[in-house]
Structure 1
Amino acid sequence: MAKELSNKNSNDISVTDLITSATVRIETFGKNGGTGTGFFFDFDPQTPETLDSLVIVTNCHVVDGVQNGQFTLTKKDQNGEQINTEHLTIFLEDFQSHWINHPDDEVDLCILPIKSIKHLIKEDFFYGAFDSSHIPTKQEIENLCAIEEIIMVGYPENIWDDHNNKPIVRKGITATSPRLPYLGYDEFLIDAACFPGSSGSPIIIYNIGQYMDRNENHYFVKYRIILLGILYEGPQYTAEGEIERVPIKKKKIVKTQLPINLGAAINGSKILDFAERLQ
């Protein structure tokens, strides 16, 4: 998998610039307010100029019970280049109502179709977007190693480069095999620093130059991008000595909770279940 992220921007853009332009910081207000992470996904990357197939993906718990919310986009110039220091803030009333939940209520994913709010976006914006080519097939999953290096892109503890509208990139490994459904669910664990605000972060396998599969076959590539999953919760160690699994949306927590650098991620393939709901 060496396909670039889809975009309707300038062609002379590095893949890492696109990865760091694929996320949006989601800020919500009110009783259930906080911050979370969303990212762009394009269900039809052959027609990027319309934005009709472009969505933002995040966790349901990031938007549940929220009255108002907003996210920030980066403007682009006439040549399609990003203007890092010029931004568009898109504010939405009745925020939760704009999102479409996953068909399975047990899957903590939702999407925001850009076409439904396109009238609110007054200027062109720069973005990178994942698409179905970045989601591994069953055969590609079977070829993955039990331990893979991953990166996670998002806004941990509401830390971000607000001057340039850029996220924070973290690095880790798969803590459970991506080939096996953790606890019987379509998810896996990662070993990475997962803090509040990271909910909705894309979990990406990003290899440069070379990689090896589970059968020790060696591949030389320019790069490999796999959208392996979406972070949605992380076990926390409480001051009382208990371990709990909690959503990692930014919010006030009464208990003293300490991250143990593990996170649970939903398989990236679950995004494809939204296709029919976009019709």
Structure 2
Amino acid sequence: MASINPVYSTVTMIKVGNRDDFATGFFYNFLDDTYLVTNKHVLEPDDNVPADEVRFFIRSYNNLGDVNWITKSVEEGSQIDWYEMGGNDGSDNDIDVAVIPINQKLSDFSDYINNNGDESNIVTGSTAFSPHMLMDGDDVVSGGDTVLVIGYPDGLLDSQSYIPLLRNARISTPYGLPFQDDPKFITDAMMYPGMSGSPIVAGPRTLKNPATGGLRTSSRGFALLGIHSDNYQREMEDDFERLNLNAGWYAQILNLIIINQVVQSSDNPEKTFDRIDSEYPDIREFDSNLIASILRHAVQAE
């Protein structure tokens, strides 16, 4: 792992079983479980039938080029086989984020960058982001900062290792504020089909404090900012013109989706809330306008 950027290990290609489509997904740990994150339109496209299954891979710890493909049924749809923002009645909303529970438990990505040489907690080649790696109220990322988007543009990859590609993008709107009252921000970059569901990540250079030379975060060299979604286009007379502007849904959405499901399935919701607060004490430290925007979408969907 030391020879390559460890952020590569967080991402997988997603193949949709009943279509020729493919997309990108990444792993996310919350409490005792690992989830696969992608876009909702990957599972429920507007112009095609819903997915019946998805295939993704887990990397071998001893050989990152060795991947084990896993098939996961999503035939039962939203709020059963996978989760989205909104009510449990399957009500629709426009937040383009889907969270799929998987049976594998992956090591935390943060263990790779904060282990100080101790790899005892690292047992899987693929790794997962966690709430500890999201931006909180003390972190600083601004419009104009360069970020990384990791995925599989137009199917381009190393066919021997399935290592994804890193793309540079620039944050175009104030990070932490909703865009057009949606819980998303805008990035400026040329993105292609296949990148849907890619993580948007601030790396060490973005998080470096120019005044002190240290990181602008407490301990992390990487921070998960959002989930890449669609591209903005301008309608022309006979075609569309790409604006090279893209939607990124705020990563805080993941916590709200998962907390809703974890608490509702718990025999003791109050105890579950207490455990969440104990494990992730900063989980609600973010701009109140953004959280209000996310919750407003959830209420509208119910």
Name the structure 2 match of 1:185: 182
- Offset at 1:239? 5.0
Secondary structure of the residue that 2:154 maps to in structure 1? helix
Name the structure 1 match of 2:130: 131
- Offset at 1:223? 6.5
Secondary structure of the residue that 1:224 maps to in structure 2? coil
- Structure 1 distance, partners of 2:207, 2:34, is 31
- Structure 1 distance, partners of 2:206, 2:254, is 28
The 1:196/1:166 distance shift into structure 2, 3 A limit, reads: same
Conservation of the 8 A alpha-carbon contact between 2:147 and 2:206: no
Name the structure 1 match of 2:12: 24
What letter corresponds to residue 137 of structure 1 in structure 2? D
- Offset at 1:56? 0.7
Q: Calculate the aligned-residue CA RMSD, in Å.
A: 2.8
What letter corresponds to residue 259 of structure 2 in structure 1? A
2:54 to 69, 76, 94: 69
Secondary structure of the residue that 2:157 maps to in structure 1? coil
- Offset at 1:200? 0.6
1:1-279 alignment, distance < 5 Å: 13-14=1-2, 17-30=5-18, 33-44=20-31, 52-64=32-44, 65-76=50-61, 81-84=62-65, 86-95=66-75, 97=77, 98-103=81-86, 105-115=93-103, 126-140=125-139, 143-208=140-205, 211-212=208-209, 217-221=211-215, 224-238=221-235, 240=237, 256-273=239-256, 274-278=258-262, 279=266
- Offset at 1:35? 1.1
Name the structure 1 match of 2:119: none
What letter corresponds to residue 277 of structure 1 in structure 2? Q
The unaligned stretches of length 5 or more in structure 1 are 1-12, 45-51, 119-123, 242-255
What letter corresponds to residue 214 of structure 2 in structure 1? F
- Structure 1 distance, partners of 2:213, 2:85, is 35
Name the structure 2 match of 1:251: none
TM-score (norm 2): 0.67
- Offset at 1:17? 3.6
What letter corresponds to residue 87 of structure 1 in structure 2? V
For residues 2-47 of structure 1, give each alpha carbon's deviation from its aligned partner in whole angstroms, at most 9, with x where no partner exists. xxxxxxxxxxx4495431010111111435x511111011113xxx
- Structure 2 distance, partners of 1:163, 1:261, is 30
Secondary structure of the residue that 1:19 maps to in structure 2? helix
- Structure 2 distance, partners of 1:239, 1:209, is 36
Conservation of the 8 A alpha-carbon contact between 1:238 and 1:257: yes
Conservation of the 8 A alpha-carbon contact between 2:207 and 2:222: no
What letter corresponds to residue 39 of structure 1 in structure 2? F
Name the structure 2 match of 1:250: none
- Structure 2 distance, partners of 1:27, 1:195, is 16
For residues 238-261 of structure 1, give each alpha carbon's deviation from its aligned partner in whole angstroms, at most 9, with x where no partner exists. 5537xxxxxxxxxxxxxx545332
- Offset at 1:196? 0.8
What letter corresponds to residue 67 of structure 1 in structure 2? D
The 1:237/1:225 distance shift into structure 2, 3 A limit, reads: same
TM-score (norm 1): 0.72
Conservation of the 8 A alpha-carbon contact between 2:146 and 2:206: no
Question: Which deviates the most, 221-230 or 266-275?
Answer: 221-230
Higher strand fraction: Structure 1 or Structure 2?
1
The 1:136/1:58 distance shift into structure 2, 3 A limit, reads: same
Conservation of the 8 A alpha-carbon contact between 2:133 and 2:220: no
For residues 112-143 of structure 1, give each alpha carbon's deviation from its aligned partner in whole angstroms, at most 9, with x where no partner exists. 1122899xxxxx85212111111111342xx3
Conservation of the 8 A alpha-carbon contact between 2:229 and 2:247: yes
Number of aligned pairs?
Answer: 230
Aligned-pair identity in percent equals 21
Question: Which deviates the most, 185-194 or 201-210?
Answer: 201-210
- Structure 2 distance, partners of 1:237, 1:39, is 29
Name the structure 2 match of 1:6: none
The 1:15/1:137 distance shift into structure 2, 3 A limit, reads: farther
